[in-house]
A and B are shown apart, each in its own frame.
Chain A
Amino acid sequence: MPSSRISDVFTKLKSENRLAFMPFITSGDPDIAATGELITELGKQGCDLIEIGFPYSDPIADGPTIQASYTRALDKGLHVNDIFNTVAALPTEELPPLVAMVAFAIIYRIGPEEFLTKLKSAGFSGMIVPDLPGDEAASFFELSQKHGLDLVQLVSPTTKPERVERILAAASGFVYCISVAGITGVREDLPPELKDQLRWLREKTDLPLAVGFGIGKPEQIDMLRDVADGVIVGSAIVRQLEPLAKAPDQKKAIIDQIGNYAADMLAATKS
C-alpha cells in the first residue's frame, strides 16, 4: 500500500486503537462561504478526514436528504470552480485530508486531466466517484495515481466476491463499505451480515475499511469497532443544514451544532 496523507491517517489511528470519523458535507449548502467555515470547524474538532460533496443534478446513489442539499446548492448557482477556489484558500496542510465525492459526469465534462490537476492543487487528497465502478475505472485510477490522488472504491453488500478483486485493483486510500443495499440516509440499525462482509474483506485487502450509509449515532460506532477502521456520516450532518435555507441568520449556531455533533461522534471512536 503506497503511502499517502489518507493512508498515514489510518496508520496513526491504528497505533492509537481508534476508528476514523469522516463527516460528509455538501459544498455550497447553504453557501460556499459556510462550506469553508464548516471545514475549518470540523478540522478544529479533530475529525480524521472530511468528505466534500460536489453537488450533482442527478445523484442516483443519494437519498432525499443529500439530494435536496445538492439541489439547494445548485439552485444558488454553485460552480465546480467555486469549490476549488474555496478549498484552495484554506490552510489544507493543517486540515484533515479532504476527499471529494464527485460524479463522473462532472469529471468527464471538465476533463479528467484538468479535473485532477485542479483537485490536487486545491489541496484535496483523494476522491470517491460513486458512478465509476471498478470495471470502468482502470485508466482513471492510473491517472489519479499519477496526480498523487487516492481513488476510493465502494463495495456494497450485494457485491459478489469475484468482483471484489477487480474493484480493489483500482482502489487506494481506503475502501468505502456500504452498510446496506440502497441509498444514503440515516437508518436505525446496521444489518448483521455487515460484520461478516467486513471480516471477509479484511482477508482480501490491506486497505483500511470505512463504513458508510445509514450511520448517524455513537452506538453504531461501537458495533463496528472490531471490524472496521472508520465510519462515514453524511445525511445525519447534511440534514442539520436544512433549516438554514429558511433561517440564514442561524449559520453560526448551526455550524457550532455540527461541530458539537462531530465532537460526540469523535468521542465514541476513542473508548
Chain B
Amino acid sequence: MADTSRPNLPRASTAVAEPTTHDPDARGHFGIFGGRYIPEALMAVIEEVTAAYEKARTDQAFLDKLDDLQTHYTGRPSPLYEAIRLSEHAGGARIFLKREDLNHTGSHKINNVLGQALLARQMGKTRVIAETGAGQHGVATAVACARFGLDCVVYMGEEDIRRQKLNVFNMRTMGAEVRPVTTGSRTLRDAINEAMRDWMASVETTHYILGSVVGPHPFPQIVRDFQSVIGKEARQQCLEETGRLPDEVIACVGGGSNAAGMFYPFVEDDSVQLTGVEAGGRGPQPGQHASPLSYGRKGVLHGSFSYVMQDDDGQTCDVHSISAGLDYPGVGPEHAYWKDTGRVNYVAAEDDEALAAFKKLATLEGILPALESSHAIAHTIKAAKQRGPDDIIVVCLSGRGDKDVTEVARLLGQEL
C-alpha cells in the first residue's frame, strides 16, 4: 500500500528503482573515488549485498514494501516548511526547511535503515549490526530490527555513549545490544572498524547496515539511493509551493548521507547551487575540526578512496566536532567526486556558529534542530543574507535536537 494522501509526490522507491548515468561503475567508482579497499574476507559478502541490491531494485514487491513502510511507519512525505521568521532574521532569501526531523526516530537515518533492513530479510539474514556516532543511526537500526524481529548489535564509541545517553537508553529499550568501543579514538570511526571486524566473522547470519554513504561499494550507492527520497520530495514540493526550483540547496555533511540524498535529485538542475556544510569545529587547525572536504586530502579510509583527514604517514587523524554525528575523519566518495568536478561547493561551520543556529531556530521557529543539522542552518543564515528576497534556499533539517539538549545545556553552563 503506497501513499494515497499525496499521490503527486515521488515515492521512496523511485530513487531506488531507476538506474541513472550517475551510478558508479561495476566496482563502485565515482570517477577516481570509491572502490573496494577491503580485506579479502569481506569480499564475498560485499558481492552478495551488491547482487541482492541489484535484484531488489527491479523487484516490485520489495519496492512496494519500502513505500508502505516509508508512508505508514516513517510518516513520509516529510513537510517542506517555509521558515518565515528565520528568513526575516537572515534578511535575504526565502528559507525552506525539509523536515526530516519529523520522521519516526527523529532523523533521516530511518530512510536508509528501512531499505537495508528489508534487504537483510531478502538475503535471509537474522542478525543486524550497525555503527553509530550520534546514536541516530543506531536508534533507527534498533527500531527497524524490533519491527522486523532481527537480532541487533550496535557498536558505539565510549566517548559517544557519554555524549548521547538518551539514544543509548532508547536503543537498549528497543532490544538492541549496545557494545561500547574502547579502541582508538573511541568514536564513530572506531565503531565502524569494530562493526567490520564483527561482520568478517559473522557474514553467514549477519547484515551490516552501514549508516552513511561511506565504506566500500555498494554502500555509498545503496545509502544514497535510499536517502534520495529526501531530495525527490523536496524538489517536487518546492515546485508546487513556489512554482520553481530553489536557487540553492544546503545540507550538513558528516559521512554525507542526508546531503547525498538531498543533492542527488538536483544534480542535473544546473541552476541549483548545491552546498555541503562540514563540521568546522574549533577552527581549521588539524585535530580541531571534522572537515575533510574543506581541509583534508585524498586517501583511503574504511574501504573507499575519498577525502580524509590523515597525517603524512597515512594514519587517520583525530577530529573534533561539537556534534557526534559529524565527528568523522572521512566522507563519502561521491562527495569527493562532486567536489572535484565542482558540482557541489563545500564549506565549514564552526561549533559556535552551530550552537548559535541551534538557539536561533528554537527561538524563531519553535524547532529544536539536531546539532548536526544546526551546522546547515548556520550556513543557511549566512547564505540567505547574500541573496535577494526572490531567491529560494532549501535546507535539509536532518534531525531533531532532543538527543542533544543535555550536551547543549552543558556547553551553555546550565543544569537540566
B40 in contact (CB, < 8 A): yes
Contact A104 B300 (CB under 8 A): yes
Contact B312 A60 (CB under 8 A): no
Q: What CA separation (Å) do A139 and B41 show in the bound complex? A: 22
Residues of B within 8 A of A110 (CB): 312-314
Contact A158 B203 (CB under 8 A): yes
A258 in contact (CB, < 8 A): no
Contact B37 A182 (CB under 8 A): no
Q: What CA separation (Å) do A113 and B284 show in the bound complex? A: 31
Chain A residues 156 to 200 lying within 8 A of chain B, measured CB to CB, are: 156, 158-160, 163, 167, 178, 181-183
Contact B44 A158 (CB under 8 A): yes
Would A103 and B41 be within 8 Å (CB), given that A63-B197, A158-B203, A181-B201 are in contact?
no
* Beta-carbon nearest neighbor of A67 in chain B: B183
Contact B37 A132 (CB under 8 A): yes
Contact bitstring A107-149, B, C-beta under 8 A = 1, else 0: 1111000000000000000000011111110000000000000
Contact B39 A133 (CB under 8 A): yes
| 5 A-B interface contacts by CB (under 8 A) | A67-B183, A108-B298, A133-B36, A159-B40, A182-B197
Q: What CA separation (Å) do A63 and B190 show in the bound complex? A: 13
Q: What CA separation (Å) do A110 and B312 show in the bound complex? A: 7
* Beta-carbon nearest neighbor of A167 in chain B: B40
Interface size on B, residues (CB 8 A): 35
Contact A108 B183 (CB under 8 A): no
Contact B315 A74 (CB under 8 A): yes
A61 in contact (CB, < 8 A): yes
**What's the minimum C-beta distance from B323 to chain A, rounded to whole angstroms?**
21
Chain A residues 66 to 121 lying within 8 A of chain B, measured CB to CB, are: 67-68, 71, 74, 79-80, 103-110
* Beta-carbon nearest neighbor of A79 in chain B: B313
Q: What CA separation (Å) do A183 and B203 show in the bound complex? A: 12
Contact A183 B200 (CB under 8 A): yes
Q: Which of B37, B38, B201 has the most CB of A within 10 A?
A: B37
Residues of B within 8 A of A106 (CB): 313-315
Residues of B within 8 A of A183 (CB): 41, 197, 200-201
10 A-B pairs besides A106-B314, A181-B41, A181-B203 with CB distance below 8 A are A61-B197, A105-B299, A106-B315, A108-B300, A130-B39, A154-B39, A155-B40, A156-B43, A158-B44, A167-B40
* Beta-carbon nearest neighbor of A178 in chain B: B41
Q: What CA separation (Å) do A105 and B300 show in the bound complex? A: 5
B310 in contact (CB, < 8 A): yes
Residues of A within 8 A of B85 (CB): none
Among all A-B residue pairs, the 9 with the closest Cβ atoms: A109-B314, A182-B201, A106-B314, A158-B44, A61-B39, A105-B300, A156-B41, A60-B196, A57-B315
**What's the minimum C-beta distance from A233 to chain B, rounded to whole angstroms?**
18
Residues of A within 8 A of B38 (CB): 60, 131, 133
Contact B314 A131 (CB under 8 A): no
**What's the minimum C-beta distance from A162 to chain B, rounded to whole angstroms?**
10
* Beta-carbon nearest neighbor of A153 in chain B: B40
* Beta-carbon nearest neighbor of A82 in chain B: B313
Contact A104 B200 (CB under 8 A): no
* Beta-carbon nearest neighbor of A135 in chain B: B27
Residues of B within 8 A of A163 (CB): 43
Contact A108 B299 (CB under 8 A): yes
Q: What CA separation (Å) do A136 and B39 show in the bound complex? A: 11
A58 in contact (CB, < 8 A): yes
B301 in contact (CB, < 8 A): yes
Contact B37 A131 (CB under 8 A): yes
Would A159 and B37 be within 8 Å (CB), given that A58-B184, A103-B314, A183-B201 are in contact?
no
B236 in contact (CB, < 8 A): no
Contact B310 A136 (CB under 8 A): no
Q: What CA separation (Å) do A159 and B184 show in the bound complex? A: 30
B283 in contact (CB, < 8 A): no
**What's the minimum C-beta distance from B306 to chain A, rounded to whole angstroms?**
11
Chain A residues 221 to 242 lying within 8 A of chain B, measured CB to CB, are: none
Residues of A within 8 A of B27 (CB): 135-136
Residues of B within 8 A of A80 (CB): 313-314
Contact A136 B314 (CB under 8 A): no
Contact B315 A61 (CB under 8 A): no
**What's the minimum C-beta distance from B37 to chain A, rounded to whole angstroms?**
5
Residues of A within 8 A of B40 (CB): 130, 133-134, 153-156, 159, 167, 178
* Beta-carbon nearest neighbor of A59 in chain B: B193
B45 in contact (CB, < 8 A): yes
Q: Which of A67, A107, A109, A132 has the most CB of B within 10 A?
A: A109
**What's the minimum C-beta distance from A87 to chain B, rounded to whole angstroms?**
16
**What's the minimum C-beta distance from A170 to chain B, rounded to whole angstroms?**
12
* Beta-carbon nearest neighbor of A154 in chain B: B40
Would A182 and B41 be within 8 Å (CB), given that A56-B315, A131-B303 are in contact?
yes
Contact of B43 among A68, A74, A108, A133 (CB under 8 A): A133
* Beta-carbon nearest neighbor of B330 in chain A: A58
B172 in contact (CB, < 8 A): no
Contact B314 A107 (CB under 8 A): yes
* Beta-carbon nearest neighbor of B315 in chain A: A57
Residues of A within 8 A of B303 (CB): 60, 131
Contact of B314 among A63, A105, A134 (CB under 8 A): A105
Contact bitstring A203-231, B, C-beta under 8 A = 1, else 0: 00000000000000000000000000000
Residues of B within 8 A of A107 (CB): 314
Contact bitstring B179-202, A, C-beta under 8 A = 1, else 0: 000011000011001001100110
Chain B residues 25 to 53 lying within 8 A of chain A, measured CB to CB, are: 27, 35-41, 43-45, 47
Would A109 and B310 be within 8 Å (CB), given that A58-B301, A60-B196, A183-B200 are in contact?
yes
**What's the minimum C-beta distance from A35 to chain B, rounded to whole angstroms?**
16
Contact A58 B43 (CB under 8 A): no
Contact B197 A109 (CB under 8 A): no
Residues of A within 8 A of B39 (CB): 60-61, 130-131, 133, 154, 156
